[in-house]
Structure formats: structure tokens, C-alpha cells
Amino acid sequence: MNPEGRVSVGFQVAVIGNRGAGKSALIRAAPINEGAHEEAGDGVQLHKAACFYNSFSVMADFVEMPPDDRYYGLLPYFGGAAACIILVVNILDSNGHSDLCNRLAALGTPPPCGLLVVQGSLPSSTASGEERRRLEPLRDVAARWGLKFLRFETLEQLARAQILQSVCDLVLGDIPDRGDPMHLLGRRVARGMSP
């Protein structure tokens, strides 16, 4: 237990998506520690975020995966070590659904928990029917893979989102207050980094 009486817990969050999907904007929405950005190698970026969640003092490493498909081979490694996966898709990307499916296939196994974040909006002249046509298969993928679906029309909405809170809800939400997160060995926290 740390001096504040909180249980310290740390885990990794893999952030995956195509170029321009909004990964960086999503990460900036988390309370990232100043100066805690570093290159982890092979184009992978590491961002450290911290918060308090219930009785926990949380340190989360947001691992931003490179967008290029040549890095798909890294997804099972980083995805397998992550307690949570965030997949980011830009609705303007006409290949967003197929790109998402390719990235999920490269992961190999469903993540322990995750978010599918869809951001952006289509021009108003084509918005209603086309947006629905693009969103439905993304919602289906989220349901099939057990991902929580979040939709933001603008980067400003995404920037105001409490992404780390959503991640903590998924990773730690079922642990009783003042509980021991290590009872999740083999489930979620144990797959992430040790505190």
C-alpha cells in the first residue's frame, strides 16, 4: 500500500489504429505525465499516465503502436502484454473497417478488455446514410470482440473524453473497493506490467 492508503497498480494499454485515426489525440486526452513520452523502439511510442481510481493509485503505460501494416507482427507481443486494448478508427477512412479487422486478426486472440473508439464525421451532404453504413460494421466488430464502443464526432470531443477513466472502469471496475488487484492474476492486471 502506498502512503496515501491506496493500492498501487500498474498496467499497459495498447493503442492501435491507422495513420490519422486519432491515436495521439486520444492519448493526449489521458493525464499524461509531463516528460514521460519515450520511444520504445521500432516506432512504438510509450506515454505514462497516472490517476486515482477508487482505492487505487494507477500508473498506466499507453503504448502507441505504429500505424504501418509492416508492424502487425508486433501486435501479438504488445497486445498480449496489455491489460486493455484501445482500437481507434477515423470514420472518414473508407478502409477503416477492413484495417480494423486486419489489426484484430494480427492480435491473434481477443484482448482481455478493450475500447473501440470511432472519431470524425462525414460532410453533412453524405452524413446520415453513409455514416450509418460505416458505423454498423464497426459496432458489429466491437460486439464480436467484446469491445466497448465509443463515438466522438470531433477531436475536441475526443480530447475532453476521460479515456483513462474508461480504461480503469474496464480493467479495475470489478475489483471491490480496497480490494487486492492481484486476485486478477491470469486475467487482466497480471497481463500488464507490474506496479
* Residue 31 pLDDT exceeds 70: yes
pLDDT tens for 105-137 read: 999 888 889 999 999 888 775 667 888 888 999
**pTM greater than 0.75:** yes
Asked if the structure places residue 195 within a domain, the reply is no
The CATH number covering residue 166 comes to 3.40.50.300
Quick: pLDDT tens for 62-89: 999 988 888 888 898 888 889 999 999 9
Within a domain: 36: yes
CA distance 176 to 179: 5
Residue 100 CA to residue 80 CA, distance in Å, equals 17
The percentage of the chain sitting over the pLDDT mark of 90, rounded to a whole number, equals: 31
Does residue 88 belong to any structural domain of this protein?
Answer: yes
Please name which of 135, 167, 170, 123 lies closest in space to residue 26, comparing C-alpha atoms. 167
Task: Tell me if 146 is assigned to some domain.
Answer: yes
Residue 1 placed within a domain: no
Is residue 182 included in any domain, yes or no?
Answer: no
Q: How much is the pLDDT for 175?
A: 67
- Does residue 123 sit within a domain? yes
Domain that holds residue 116: 7-176
For residue 191, the model assigns a pLDDT of 39
Count how many domains the chain has: 1
Query: What is the structure's pLDDT at 149?
Result: 94
